[in-house]
Amino acid sequence: MKANAEYIDFVNSTLKGTKNTFKQMTKEIDRISDISIVNGEMVEIPKGKIELRDDRTKKKWVVELESFLLSKFPVTQDLYYEITKESPSTFKGNRRPVETVTWKDAVSFCNSLSNQAGLNPCYSFYADQEIAFDQTANGFRLPTEAEWEYACKAGSAGIRYGELELTAWYKANSEKTTHDVGLKEPNAWGIYDMLGNVWEWCSDIYDETVYGSYRTFRGGGWCDEERSCLSTNRRRSHPTSFKIDDLGFRIARNIIKTAQTN
């Protein structure tokens, strides 16, 4: 009887270990699947240059850009929850853009996604609330302001990449809420929701001499008038305290060139 009891304990222990291993394998498969989906939704943006302008100061400047990867959609609530286990959005819906997030929330998400994908995080956090950006890292990040506008225009010369009613959710058609990503027409490079639905955080500091650490966001949101949904429109706010129900983000990545050997 004792031998039978020991055998039963052994079998139960083995089965428990097998179940735990299976659960771990399932989680790993789900993690790999999530990363594969994210990578599959990244669009390669060709290198080029863009002229930016600040309507407040009337300043203009040109930025030359290397090719980079940009997500064809804003980060959705289901992806944000998978990575952070948090659901901050005011308007709920798995395929709606995540909103009500600070700039710090957005870059923290980028780091967490990079870690899960086995990539080098782009952002470092310090005790004095300073956040450093490594422009050479291969992980996920926010687009720079120049990258955002360049990708938004997608080779077009106008202030929008198409008729606003067909390409964006804004005050006149949004019914006072966000909408699932990808329902409007994309731009010429296959990128959706660059205008309307939610504004999008960018990496850049807006004007350090006047606004300190304030960061830029772009694109217009569901509650904005037509005049605010422009590829050239710039806004800014505090990176760690400001969050609102029409402000989200999308992710970018560097294209890492590997050295060729003869």
Tokens of 12: 């139960």
One domain for residues 88 and 18: no
- Residue 20 belongs to a domain: yes
Judgement on whether residues 210 and 171 belong to the same structural domain of the protein: yes
Q: Are 70 and 144 in contact (CB under 8 A)?
A: no
Asked if 36 and 87 sit in the same domain, the reply is: no
Q: How far is CA 117 from CA 66, 84, 112, 251, 253, in A?
A: 23, 14, 9, 14, 12
* Residues contacting residue 102 through CB under 8 Å, at least 6 positions apart: 238, 239, 240, 241, 242, 243
98 is a domain residue:
yes
Question: 173 and 197: one domain?
Answer: yes
Distance of alpha carbon 88 from alpha carbon 86, whole angstroms: 6
CA 154 to chain centre: 18
pLDDT given at position 211: 87
| Whether residue 52 is found in the same domain as residue 147 | yes
- Same domain membership, residue 153 and residue 73: yes
Tell me whether residue 260 is in a domain. Answer: no
Residues 9, 124: one domain? no
pTM for the full model?
Answer: 0.85
| Total count of domains within the chain | 2
Do 134 and 15 lie in one domain? The reply is no
Say if 261 falls within a structural domain.
no
In a domain, 36, yes or no: yes
Is 262 contained in some domain? Answer: no
**150 in a structural domain:** yes
- Asked if 30 and 47 sit in the same domain, the reply is no
CATH of the domain at 176: 3.90.1580.10
Which residue in this structure is represented by tokens 């400047």? 61
Nearest CA among 77, 245, 235 for reference residue 148: 235
Find all residues with CB under 8 Å of 109, minimum gap 6, and list them.
75, 80, 83, 84, 101, 249
Residues 159, 238 within the same domain: yes
Q: Is residue 31 part of a domain?
A: yes
H-type alpha helices, the chain: 2-40, 77-84, 103-116, 145-153, 164-167, 208-211
Q: Residue 12 is part of which domain span?
A: 1-40
For residue 20, what are its two tokens? 């735990």
| Same domain assignment for residues 92 and 160 | yes
Q: Do 86 and 49 share a domain, yes or no?
A: yes
Residue-level pLDDT, tens digit, the chain, 262 residues:
555 666 556 545 554 555 555 455 444 444 455 677 788 899 999 999 999 988 888 899 999 999 999 999 999 999 999 999 999 999 999 999 999 999 999 999 999 999 999 999 999 999 877 899 998 999 999 999 999 999 999 999 889 999 999 999 999 999 999 999 999 999 999 999 999 999 999 999 998 888 889 999 999 999 999 999 999 999 999 999 999 999 999 999 999 876 554 4
Return all residues near 10 (Cβ < 8 A) that are at least 6 apart.
Answer: none
| Range list of β-strands (E), 46-151 | 48-54, 59-65, 68-71, 123-125, 131-133, 140-141
Which residues neighbour 138 within 8 Å (Cβ) at sequence distance 6 or greater?
119, 120, 253, 254, 256
